[in-house]
Amino acid sequence: MRRKLVAGNWKMNGSLAALAELDGIAAAAAAYPGVDVAVAVPATLIAPAHARAPGLAIGAEDIHPAPSGAHTGCLSAAMVAEAGATFTIVGHSERRIEQRESGQDVWAKAEAGHRGGLGVILCLGETDVERASGRAERVVSSQLERALPGDATGDWLTIAYEPRWAIGTGLTPTPGDVQAIHGAVRAKMVDLLGDAGHAIRILYGGSVTGENAARMFALPDVDGALVGGASLTAAKFVPIIAAAAGL
């Protein structure tokens, strides 16, 4: 049985004052012990977030694939772990687009996170054009094949399906469309990893709210959510955690 995971991604938002929101989020995590709760924050907030909510899984939004070196402005897995991070996001569509990260880049970051002792949330997702042309499943499966470490297990890897056209837009695919992609991702992981592919959680992300979360979580291959804007406040994030706990 795969435990539900609700993970927040603050992106380039937040401040020391905003960390007060973690109080309510941490309280919800304690109130719903059957759900894993995590929050990825900007690098400047990892240490103070960990100090404020030591019982909550705090993560990084990205890492560099190298352990050290001449990479100005970048952070290694060891650096974010030392600050208090227990996981990292890799391959988010905003980085694939804005920083032009390739599948090879994402694979290298996932490997680096694992080597550094971090959990890894690896993101996948198609564009609106790719979906309209009927290529969504093929595109997402190809992204997975290029970025999936060969030794991946559910102990450290989580997949997040985030259709690029749904991120921050208020638009969401139908439950049937979500299950079709998640089912394709599950089948591809089993094909590549064998039985280990059954144990890796697949999250849905893209305009997740307290109103639509339960509908998504009821799908057989949706093991939780990666939440953007709604994770910035406890008032919006906690209902999503509660929806996961109610299933």
pLDDT per position as a tens digit, 6-30: 999 999 999 999 999 999 999 999 9
- Look up residue 173 and give its amino acid: P
Q: Please say if the pLDDT value at position 116 is more than 80.
A: yes
Phi, psi of 76 (to 5 degrees): -85, 170
Which one is catalytic: 21, 50, 64, 92?
Answer: 92
Cα separation, 88 vs 122, in Å, equals: 9
Question: Residue length, the chain?
Answer: 247
Q: In Å, how far are 34, 66, 182 from 40, measured between CA atoms?
A: 20, 20, 23
Query: Is-contact 243 208, C-beta < 8 A?
Result: no
Quick one: pLDDT band at residue 114, thresholds 50, 70, 90? very high
Q: What is the pLDDT of residues 57-94, one digit of tens each?
A: 999 999 999 999 999 999 999 999 999 999 999 999 99
Q: In the predicted model, is pLDDT for residue 32 greater than 70?
A: yes
Please give the pLDDT value at position 169.
Answer: 81
Q: Report percent pLDDT > 90 for the chain.
A: 93
Q: Which of 210, 158, 165 is nearest to 182 (CA)?
A: 158
For residue 197, what are its two tokens?
Answer: 């592919």
Of 64, 126, 162, 182, the active-site residue reads 162
Residue 137 annotated among the catalytic residues of the structure = no
pLDDT of 247 reads 64
Q: Is 182 a catalytic residue?
A: no
Q: Where are the domains of the chain?
A: 4-245
Using DSSP bridges, classify how beta strands 157-161 and 119-124 pair: parallel, antiparallel or unpaired: parallel
**Helix 136-147 vs helix 103-115: crossing angle, to nearest 10:** 50
Residues 26-43, buried b or exposed e (16+ Cβ, 10 A)? bebbeebeebbbbbbbeb
pTM for the structure as a whole:
0.96
Residue 113 has pLDDT above 90, yes or no: yes
Q: What CATH architecture does domain 4-245 belong to?
A: Alpha-Beta Barrel (3.20)
Is pLDDT of 165 > 90? no
Type of residue found at 128 = D
Q: How many CB atoms lie within 10 A of CB 78?
A: 16
CA triplet 134, 135, 137: central angle to 5 degrees?
Answer: 110
- Given a contact cutoff of 8 angstroms between Cβ atoms, the answer to whether 96 and 140 are in contact is no
